[in-house]
Amino acid sequence: MKRILLTGFDPFGGEQRNPSWEVVRRLDGLLIGDSHQIVSARLPCEFVNSLLILDAALRQHQPSIVICLGQAGGRADISLERIAINVDDARMPDNAGAQPVDVPVVEGGPAAYFSSLPIKAIAQELHLSGIPASISQTAGTFVCNHVFYGLMHKASELTSIQRAGFIHIPYLPEQAVAHPGAASMSLEMVKTGILKVLESVLKTDKDLRIAGGATH
Q: How many CB atoms lie within 10 A of CB 156?
A: 14
d(CA 88, CA 90): 6
Residue 53 burial by CB count (10 A; 0-12/13-18/19+): exposed, middle or buried?
Answer: middle
Q: What is the rounded CA–CA span in Å between residue 166 and residue 82?
A: 8
CB-based burial label for 71 (10 Å; 0-12, 13-18, 19+): buried
Catalytic position from the list 36, 68, 144, 146:
144
Amino acid present at 54: L
Strands 36-43 and 78-81 turn out to be unpaired
- Choose, from 45, 81, 125, 146, the residue flagged as catalytic: 81
Instruction: Please name the residues in contact with 130: beta carbons below 8 A apart, sequence gap of 6 or more.
Output: none
CB 91 within 8 A of CB 188: no
CA distance 79 to 119: 10
**Residue 168 is among the residues annotated as catalytic for this protein:** yes
The single residue of 168, 174, 179, 188 carrying the catalytic annotation is 168
Active site residues per annotation: 81, 144, 168
